[in-house]
Each structure stands twice: as C-alpha cells, then as structure tokens.
Structure 1
Amino acid sequence: MKVITAVFNWLAERLRDLSMWPINLVRDFPVRVMRLARTVWGGIGGIITFLPSLVRAAAGGNLGDWFPGRVGRFFNWFHLFLTQIFDLCGGPELGEFVLHFFARTTPLTSAEIAMISGVLGEDALRFGDVRVVEGGLFDWIFKMNGNLAFATWHSINLPRTGGHTRKNLPIVVHELTHVFQYENVGSRYLGEAIYMLIKTKRDCYNYGGGTGLQDACAVGKCYCDFNREQQAKITQDFYDLTTQGKDVTAYEPFITQVRAREI
C-alpha cells in the first residue's frame, strides 16, 4: 500500500510540475517582459555611449582602466539578457520538471511556511509553488558536493544525511531566501551566486556578523549591496539568533529592507 501511495504522490507531483509551465508563463509574463525590456534599453544606452566614452578615455589616457570596466559591464549585461530570455520562455519551470522527475518532492509544511514568514514576511513567497527536493538523483549530487544544500528556482534541494537536512531549519531559511531572490529578480540570482562561489572559492558567506552589519549600516551599506550568499546568510543567522533569544538589533534594518523586497 505504501508503494502505491508513493507512486500516486510522485505522479501527482509530476503533473503539477508540468502544469506550472503554462501557468507561470502567463502569470509571470508581464514581470518577465518588463525585466527584459529594462535590460534591452540599458543595452541600447550602452551602445549609444560606447564611442563617446571611448574617445574620452583615450583623450584622458585612461584606456587601461576603461577597457576592463567596459568588458565587465558587458558581461554583466549579457548575463542578465540570457537569464531573462530563459525566464521569459519558462525555462525555470521546464528545468524543475526535468530535475524533479528523478527525485522526491514535497510542499512546504505549515510550520515551515510560518517559520519563513516570520523572517521574510507573510506574503514573501508563492508558498504553494515551492518544493522541497530530496532523494533520487540528488543523493548522487549531494555525494559529489559534500551534502551541501542548494536552491534552484522554486526548489530547495536538501540532502537526507549530514548537516544540511530538512531538520536544519536555519539552512531551510537560507535556501528559501534564494527562492525569494528568484521571485524578485529572476534566474539571475543563480548565476550571481555561482559566480561568487567560484570567484571566492566558496568564501562568499561571511558578512562580519552583527558587528559587520553595524559597520555596514554606519557607512550606508544596504542589504542589496551584499552578494547573494551573504544575503541568505544574513536571514539565516537572523532566524537562528532569534530562536535562541539573542540580540538581533544589528540585523533589523537589513531585515526591514528584505521585507520591502529591496534586494
């Protein structure tokens, strides 16, 4: 009977995944089009200002500084353009359908929804869209990456062993923050997080703790100025410290910005 129930639940989840592609394609179309339009407009502006900027740099003898900066801005723009085209075509939904096909997926529990609502806000996420992914193909993935949890679009992928399991609620908060990033900025969050992981050799989580946040606040640094992994670590630590009854005064200005979706 358990096997029959498991098969039925798996089929129901796969049908649900398949239905999310047309649903989100329509529901998210206006937001995704606007993101892409802003990026295209920015690209047009970059083309218009390219030659005048080049002439000024050459005249001032600053080509050595101008060229790397211009190349960096182009690759940042190109990354935005590609991820926004991907989103517009429903790439995240199709990607999740494929990945979920080889794993067990379950919705968030009411306790998990209440937990993340206490950090990000009551209407922070489309909670019904979020899935916790465990087992199957992901057992092999976690064996390869050292049982480190990660988030892909509306999915938080958690190992069944080690320190990043579903029972580790601060980690669940961390990964759901990445889902929050996805809902607010699109798939670009994933590329930005991976870039920082590679660039820093995984040393991209440290934001200085409470003292670091106090210093950041003193110089006008905002939540959106931290990298994607630091952002998720801030909310993770805020939740962890709150549940321990510790002082979170240094975190409050940044959590207010999170809840205002200033990411």
Structure 2
Amino acid sequence: MPSQADLIARVTRHAEEDARVRALLLSGSFGKDEADDWSDVDLIAVVSPEDHKAFAAGARDWLGAVADIVHWHSPHPPLPLFGAVTAGYDRLDLTVTVPGMVLGAQSTLKPLLDRDGVYAALPASPPPGRVDPAKVEAIVREFLRVMGLLPLVAGRRQPAIAVGGVGHLRQAVLALLIEAQALPAPVGALSVAKVLPAEDMELLAALPTPASDTEAVIEAQLEHARLFLPRARRIAADCGAAWPEAFEAAVRAHLKRTMGRDWGEA
C-alpha cells in the first residue's frame, strides 16, 4: 500500500504544521488494521472549536496543499464530511470535528497526531451494536413498495429502465443483511465480505442480474422476493420488528390481480 502510506504521511506532516489541528486520527479499515491495497484512507481531523467552521469551509484547500485532488464531494451536507479522489486515484474521506465529539473507540482508530490526548480519552472499544427493529421494518416496507411497482414493468414494457428496480431490491437485501449483524459502526459496501457470514454471501451471490428484457426483469424481481422475504421474516422475528402483514398481502394481491403471478410461485 505504498501510495496510501505516502498520502497518510503527507497529510500527517501537514497537520503537524497547523496548530488548529489538535488531533488527526485514522479510521475505517486503516484504523482497524484491516486495510489492503484497495482500501480508501479515512481521516478524522479534530480542530479547535473556534476554528471548526473556517477549517471545514476550507477543507478542500487544506487537503489540496498536499494532494492533487481531481474530485471532491460532500455526501451529507451540511455535515463536515468530505470525500476526495487524487490524480493517482487514492480515495480519501475526511471528517472535521472538535474535541469531545469524536465518534469511535481506540480499537477502531489510530492516532497520527494527538496534541491534547483526544485518543486517550476515547473508550477502549465501541459499545455493542444492536439490530434496530424500526430500521428492519423500514427496509422490508421499502422492498414491498418496489415490488408493488412490478406491474408497471410488465405494462409499460420499458425493461432498460425497470432494471433499476432490481437494483433497489438488491440494495434492500444488502441493507437488511448488514443491519442484522448488529455492527457497532457502519460498514462500507466494499467491505461487506468482511462482516457477513457465508450464508449471507451465498444469498447475495444467488440474486439474479437480469438482462434488459421484460420477462427477465420480472423474474429477477420475483426471485429477489423469494430469497429476501423468508430471511427478512426471521430477522424481524429475532429483533422484534413489526412485520407489515397487511402491506405484504396487498402487494401480493395486486401482483396476482394485474399479472396473475406473485413470488410464491416457483
């Protein structure tokens, strides 16, 4: 990982020369000693409260002083979370925060610079995660909502567009499987294989990827439902999530009435 290590070293030296930066921490896979050649670099810059607003506003210029940035985005404005891609295609995420507001634990972070003992004040390990019943129910409801649009695929016969619905269903499957792991912190999509058990990875591998053909799209969505809903019921029962029985029944009846099919058919 020579390019990532060089980038980390350059940003660290830059932070050391800026008194506003009270601490610089590695998070993500590098913070947990799980990084590989494909990992991005996740950094947390802890700055003085009086400097926070100005530092966040100038974060691109600050990072650009040591990295040739060709892409910059803020995925959750107005939160001071930023993503960058360099000309050499190193990927870097930067969070700007203040002392006392660092999210994480010593086991998931590495201090690169720590002038004020920010790292030492963190808990040794994150609190145990828990499956959120409300989130599980929301994922199931969104899955059923998309399934309820399936007759439009058949009626309008626009499979090249309808393939997007299969993508929504796949994302719902992935979100549910990750939530069921009760992880103490979010995990990126590219790290899923590190946290999901073999059974879940097999389910993901079994999900069909349709061609831009109406019948293929319809069958792919029905197969997603056959694979997703039984697993979702078990997860919901285990965590105490309410199952939307009436909504599921309405969607199945709608598919039967308009298409003569539902996911109960093999």
Do they fold alike, i.e. is TM over 0.5? no
| Structure showing greater Rg | 2
Structure in which a larger fraction of residues adopt strand: 2
Instruction: State the TM-score, normalized to the length of structure 1.
Output: 0.23
Structure in which a larger fraction of residues adopt helix: 1
